[in-house]
Amino acid sequence: MAKKFIFWKGYCNESKFIALDKINRIINNYGDIVDIKQFSDISITLKVELEELQIDRLYSDLKDYIKLDEFENMNSKSTRERTIFINISFASAKGNVKIEVPYV
């Protein structure tokens, strides 16, 4: 039986706000971000739900944009829903624990 959850760890050299916009667009091509946990400006964890058959393509597209730990292709045709937790660390972070709220 396959593991219920998949965990990826990634690193990004761009600003968190620029990177998250691009990462969000990539993920939305394959599934949905259903939860976000922010740990200061150093790292963030995204909970993503998608069909299993989309996992390899999502990994490939994300790996083209950020540095991701290795992941063995699943080569699945299954449409069952899977959950991926992606922890992303930002190299340009300062460790500031403040969460910036945009002015509206």
Residues 31-43 have pLDDT tens digits of: 999 999 987 778 8
Residues 33/42, Cβ–Cβ less than 8 Å: no
Residue ranges of E strands in 25-66:
31-39, 43-51
Residue 86 β-bridge partners: 8, 46
Q: Where are the domains of the chain?
A: 16-45+52-90
Identify the residue whose tokens are 């190299």.
91
pLDDT value for 70? 95
Check residue 97 and give its pLDDT. 57
Q: Please say whether the beta carbons of 45 and 33 come within 8 A.
A: no
pLDDT per position as a tens digit, 40-97: 778 899 999 999 999 999 999 999 999 999 999 999 999 999 999 999 999 877 766 5
Of the candidates 21, 8, 22, which has an alpha carbon nearest to the alpha carbon of residue 88? 8
State phi, psi for 92 to the nearest 5 degrees: -85, 5
